[in-house]
Structure 1
Amino acid sequence: MFPVGFWQGSSRHPVRHKWEQSRSDPVVTAQPWTAACLTLIQLYFHHQDLENLREPITGITETNKQTEEAEESSADASSQTTNHNTEKTARTGTRTQQKTEPGNKTPPARDDSLEEDGFWDVVGCPEQNFTRDSCSKVFCPPWKRCIKGVCACKMPYMCEKLKEQKPACALDGTQFISMCLINANKCRDKSKPTFSHYNSTCSDIVEAFNVTVEEKTVVGINIASGKKLICGDKWNMAAANVFCKSRDITEGATIANKVDATDQLAEEFSECVKVRCTGAEHSLAECRIYKPEKINNHTKIAAIKCYNKKDTTQSNTFRCVNGKYVKPVRLCDGVDDCGDNSDEMCCKKCRRSAFHCPSGVCIPQHAVRDGVRDCLGGIDEDIITDKPSQTNDTEESETEAFYTDPLFEIRAMRSQYESKLQCGIPNMDYTYKADDSSTSSHRQKRLVGGEEALPTQIQWQVAIQEDGSIHCGGVYLGGCWVLTAAHCVRSNPKSFRVKFSLWEKHRQQSTTDSIPVKRISIHPQYNSQTYANDIAVLLLEELKLKKTCMLENPAVRSVCVPWSTLQFPPDHTCTISGWGRDREGKSASILKWANVTLIKDCQNYYKDRFLPGMECAGNVDSCQGDSGGPLVCKDDSGLSYVWGLVSWGDKCGEPGYPGVYTKVAHYFDWIRSITGTPAVAKFNQ
């Protein structure tokens, strides 16, 4: 931590430039899815029409229901809560109102028992109407992209062709290059067919069916070897919701149960298959399907009843965002009971073995270490536990094996896209490399207010030079883009240069590069008096006859841009860097760094001066660094993000006055509108 008086003398108000007192607020320049043998999951009704799906499963006795509820209560009492104390988002994420999901204007009804329950976060979060399409909380599927906090349908052409591509078939027999393309079409036009299977020919297609036998409505699927029932093992409400929603019942299912395989069923169906769904699929064909197994006297079969509001009971007191009512005991268990996942989006901790993401989302244990990030910071893929994931691919393939698994395409698409934007990882060959001119004392010395950086340690740090003088820092986003505070620049780019790999403030090293600024885009709502929206994007001059602004520099790397204000919660430890000033007010000549902690409820310190788009960090009695300099946070996967830009603060060195930063995630869409999506979007695009 930086002791009292590290940076900026007696006040942390940004240095006022001679031109700032009189200039008016500048105007921004806007830029802007082996189955050669899979057949159709064929829908047919043996003794009932669609509406009968909503009728009670009379074969499910009252005893069965009571047993199920007793099991739920028992499981909650002995719940193994996976509660990783990863911080909730900071600054404006907790203060500014999130975008309400389109078409869902009424928030979930509040149940006072939820507060006593201890799992559901009753304050603030439910009113935001978070669902699986809320990309400030979760990742979008490959056929959607994050726009203003909501997963929106991609244009089909945005689905990239994979290096190892499996042709995909739609329900109408049309072949596409991927499942992504089918789902992108379906997303934009509900009349379009859903995904059927992977194959080079599409003469056989896959679709689910239901059968009513002895007053039991059970579910099956038609594959190449014939019609199979769905096994009860792995069958849950998430899968039941997928089935019912594919029948145009928006709320999904009311009951997902397991019934005995009767003699009549055994005569007609000799095998069943297990399915595992997340709840987001358009049909059971998109779920993981396991190899068929023989039905015997001990086999349980998946049974279902689709949702009907008339069946809502007094125990179903939680209202989902989509209007469905579920039991509060179903919240935060890692299973999509609502059908839109809104029952898993505002969780302080998780029931049973569900995994708790730092953003307050509960995911099923089988999603942990499955090769696909579900938590924003990737902790579900990078966490080290003594207990392996229940569905680790290697473990399951040795026992059950998959009949078909669309998850491979999602893995491949994410990996391919994410690899295109290399950010947030320093060049380790240069992280601890010093120039020959530097001494070991420089590398080891601790200074007042922080530790002296090594010459090429902080590879995204830049210095903003105006008319030959350096008053501000900034951060490199990659390409020709730099981010800094708005109060550090003005609308005349000719006065500014950006220095890379600068260690000593007034002396270049062998890796230092200096590049002129071509264009400055200051946030259009920047207020120089209140420091609201204190952020600017700089476009650098390209080299002659080249599309780059600098030659390849091993000591320069870009930082990632956060897209969600929930990525790093309060109490997360981050790093600040800059030159700044020491306790006596002297300008530091060597780049310094220190760890600081994100602070919750900063309005307690600055009252109405703390505005949306601001963040607090540091000890409440510490001073911060150069204006415009980066506050960088590292996620569980090791990627570094520029979480903030040094903006302002009061009474440097006095308790109760933490440093205030511009919260970069709050401005992701604005930044992207200037740089373009490829420059800053690593995930959710």
Structure 2
Amino acid sequence: MMRITLVLLLSALLLQLGRTVGAAGEAPHKAPPPSLLSQECVDEKHTRSSCAKVFCPPWERCINGRCVCKLPYQCPRFGPRVCGLEGRSYTSLCQAQAIACREKRPLFSHYTDLGSCDEPFEVYLRGPQGQQVVWVKNVNAMVCGSDSWNMAAANVVCKHIKNNPRGAKAFGKSEFKDIIGVSRVRECVDVRCTGAERTLAECLLYKPHSISDNTSVATVTCYTNEPAVGKVECDGFHCVNEKCVSWEHICDGVDDCGDNSDEMCCTGCQKGAFYCKSGVCLPPYAVRDKIRDCLGGEDEIETVGKSIPQSGSHKESEVWSDPKEDILKMRNHTETLECGIPNMDYVHKTEKDLRFGHKYKRDTVWGEETLPTQIQWHVAVQEDFKMSCSGVYLGGCWVLTAAHCVRQKPQSYRAKLSMWKKNSLLSTTESVPVKNIIIHQDYNPHTNENDIALIQLQELIDGKCLHPNPAVRPVCVPWSPLQFPPNYTCTVSGWGHDKEGAKVNTLRWANVSLIPNCESYYKERYHKGMMCA
């Protein structure tokens, strides 16, 4: 199989009539901050490592809102072997990237089926400062100046070579005929990067193809690793890594900053980028590529983004190296949901199916009556043989409820799962004694702040807390505080009251929308961390 070693050579050859396009330079034009940005979010300095807004890569994990490096042994033990830049072989891409993350250096070179580890990916920079030609070493070809050559790719090149987090000052394109001294070079290689890569080897790389005199080739100007002298003024967007980006380049799905901070706090997107509800803009090719990038997975919904171009005009057979399939397998392995998925064989069962005789009612004030086993994570919390509150089953031996519902007397409580009517049991109802109650340490009964508590169920002889139950499934705990933005539709369930204010006997459900600016409705009753609907 063809094997190439990509090399970026900052050529000492002069460029004639070269042009710079799409550059994000040091002195952008002055412009007022656009409405595309949330200033409150910007002040929080989010980057691609902010896992409250984006998923971490498979070789990192989310701790306290930040992506941190995994230990290599925590990686899944599958996938093709890879070669490192130092010539060693590694079990998987994840293992190599976990080491690279911890040591803060590029490590991945190529997959072993593309060549020996004795000839790793190499990157060189040569020549004077300024717009330089980007070359491919082993096949003596350039990097193409196609649409996929952008600031994100240029940042990857420069961060690797110059070890400067700001990456590239500018990227450009020049026609092949305008470059002196390279008449023997008649091929170029297309690349596509997200900006998160540590080296160009991690990007999508296509096989080299022939070029003509009018073919555009890639050029780049890097920041040096010399520290800045004095405070750098910025009339555009001030990136978290101190880079300055023109306002026209924010929220367009392209990582111009080098840390993706220009795409993390958006209220909308421009230039065809895809908007995630967490305020992140994605490049068009990330839509429906089988990898979930938005926290809610909206970029992979079948009805979304059909008109957005996917992978460009290249054919799959033209790809030389693409870690995406490997990353997809790792993501699917580590992110497979086991919660929030009801047993569909029981969702639509009627009371007649469960040997009861009751007519299902739809017209109620508090939503609609549920079917008997429709809400499979709903829990009835019983105190001294009286139903006092509701909760949700988290899995294992844990139930989540409100702090105002419970006291530190676990022996007084029982948790009833698969409960439908207050005064009768289903064949699937399970009543479990409580072992422990943990109330949030900062719960304030006067303001209802931190009104949350955990109920630990009593174990059975086998160490489990529940018998196998087809009508009980765990609910999902939100993995980000930004997962449910204003106007998001949520489903709530409970016993509630009828229009006369009397308590009802049958479990009900309803869809509600989260309300923005809760404090304007609830005044002093609203506190940070609360939601209203």
Question: Distance between the aligned counterparts of 2:209 and 2:181, measured in 1?
Answer: 15
2:122 equivalent in structure 1: 207
1:168 equivalent in structure 2: 82
- 8 Å contact 1:460–1:476 — kept in the other structure? yes
* 481 and 112 in structure 1: CA distance in 2 versus 1, 3 angstrom threshold: farther
* 401 and 424 in structure 1: CA distance in 2 versus 1, 3 angstrom threshold: farther
Which structure shows the bigger proportion of residues in helix conformation? 1
Question: Distance between the aligned counterparts of 2:272 and 2:531, measured in 1?
Answer: 34
1:292 equivalent in structure 2: 208
Q: 1:528 aligns with which of 439, 445, 456?
A: 445
> Residue by residue, what CA displacement relative to the aligned partner does 1:283-342 show, whole Å, maximum 9, x if unpaired?
0000010111112223211100012669x9998522111101111111111100111111
Question: Distance between the aligned counterparts of 1:313 and 1:469, measured in 2?
Answer: 66
Q: Which amino acid aligns with 1:167?
A: R
Question: Distance between the aligned counterparts of 2:516 and 2:383, measured in 1?
Answer: 35
Question: Distance between the aligned counterparts of 1:555 and 1:146, measured in 2?
Answer: 32
Question: Shift of the alpha carbon at 1:208?
Answer: 3.0
> Residue by residue, what CA displacement relative to the aligned partner does 1:525-553 show, whole Å, maximum 9, x if unpaired?
112222111111222223212x4322222
Question: Distance between the aligned counterparts of 1:59 and 1:384, measured in 2?
Answer: 48
**2:510 matches 1:594:** yes
- 8 Å contact 1:39–1:204 — kept in the other structure? no
Question: Shift of the alpha carbon at 1:493?
Answer: 2.1
2:475 equivalent in structure 1: 559
Which shows bigger deviation, 198-207 or 525-534? 198-207
- 8 Å contact 1:213–1:265 — kept in the other structure? no
- 8 Å contact 2:351–2:371 — kept in the other structure? no
**2:426 matches 1:513:** no
**2:93 matches 1:179:** yes
Q: Which amino acid aligns with 2:473?
A: R
1:474 equivalent in structure 2: 391
* 112 and 473 in structure 1: CA distance in 2 versus 1, 3 angstrom threshold: farther
Question: Distance between the aligned counterparts of 1:337 and 1:383, measured in 2?
Answer: 29
Higher relative contact order (CA 8 A, sep 6+): 1
1:80 equivalent in structure 2: none
2:359 equivalent in structure 1: 441
Q: How does 1:568-579 map to 2 (within 5 A)?
A: 568-579=484-495
> Residue by residue, what CA displacement relative to the aligned partner does 1:250-307 show, whole Å, maximum 9, x if unpaired?
2000111111124656434332111100000000000010111112223211100012
Which shows bigger deviation, 424-433 or 333-342? 424-433
For the residue of structure 2 that corresponds to 1:209, the secondary structure is: coil
* 68 and 582 in structure 1: CA distance in 2 versus 1, 3 angstrom threshold: closer
Give the number of aligned pairs.
520
Question: Shift of the alpha carbon at 1:584?
Answer: 3.3
Q: 2:296 aligns with which of 364, 368, 377?
A: 377
Q: How big is the alpha-carbon RMSD for the aligned residues of Structure 1 and Structure 2? A: 2.9
Question: Shift of the alpha carbon at 1:464?
Answer: 0.9
* 294 and 461 in structure 1: CA distance in 2 versus 1, 3 angstrom threshold: same
* 483 and 274 in structure 1: CA distance in 2 versus 1, 3 angstrom threshold: same
- 8 Å contact 1:137–1:376 — kept in the other structure? yes
1:465 equivalent in structure 2: 382
2:315 equivalent in structure 1: 397
* 112 and 517 in structure 1: CA distance in 2 versus 1, 3 angstrom threshold: farther
Question: Distance between the aligned counterparts of 1:390 and 1:417, measured in 2?
Answer: 28
* 517 and 221 in structure 1: CA distance in 2 versus 1, 3 angstrom threshold: farther
Q: Which amino acid aligns with 1:417?
A: T
* 473 and 494 in structure 1: CA distance in 2 versus 1, 3 angstrom threshold: same
1:196 equivalent in structure 2: 109
Question: Distance between the aligned counterparts of 2:188 and 2:232, measured in 1?
Answer: 32
- 8 Å contact 2:347–2:375 — kept in the other structure? yes
TM-score, length of structure 1 as denominator length: 0.71
Where does structure 2 lack aligned partners over 5 or more consecutive residues? Answer: none
- 8 Å contact 1:38–1:197 — kept in the other structure? no
* 114 and 563 in structure 1: CA distance in 2 versus 1, 3 angstrom threshold: farther
Q: How does 1:22-171 map to 2 (within 5 A)?
A: 38=3, 40-42=5-7, 47=12, 59=16, 64-65=19-20, 113-115=31-33, 117-121=34-38, 123-162=39-78, 165-171=79-85
Q: 2:171 aligns with which of 242, 247, 256?
A: 256
Question: Shift of the alpha carbon at 1:406?
Answer: 0.8
2:421 equivalent in structure 1: 504
Question: Distance between the aligned counterparts of 1:345 and 1:445, measured in 2?
Answer: 43
> Residue by residue, what CA displacement relative to the aligned partner does 1:467-519 show, whole Å, maximum 9, x if unpaired?
21111000111222211111212223222221111101121101111122222
**2:250 matches 1:331:** yes
Q: Which amino acid aligns with 1:459?
A: Q
* 265 and 599 in structure 1: CA distance in 2 versus 1, 3 angstrom threshold: farther
Q: 1:356 aligns with which of 253, 266, 275?
A: 275
> Residue by residue, what CA displacement relative to the aligned partner does 1:364-419 show, whole Å, maximum 9, x if unpaired?
101111111111111111152474542349x7435x63111011121111101122
- 8 Å contact 1:271–1:292 — kept in the other structure? yes
Question: Distance between the aligned counterparts of 1:407 and 1:139, measured in 2?
Answer: 15
**2:158 matches 1:244:** yes
For the residue of structure 2 that corresponds to 1:118, the secondary structure is: coil
Q: Which amino acid aligns with 1:348?
A: T
2:370 equivalent in structure 1: 453
2:143 equivalent in structure 1: 230
* 387 and 597 in structure 1: CA distance in 2 versus 1, 3 angstrom threshold: closer
Question: Distance between the aligned counterparts of 1:316 and 1:611, measured in 2?
Answer: 36
TM-score, length of structure 2 as denominator length: 0.90
Question: Distance between the aligned counterparts of 1:377 and 1:498, measured in 2?
Answer: 31
- 8 Å contact 1:578–1:592 — kept in the other structure? yes
Question: Distance between the aligned counterparts of 2:66 and 2:129, measured in 1?
Answer: 44
1:487 equivalent in structure 2: 404
Question: Shift of the alpha carbon at 1:568?
Answer: 1.6
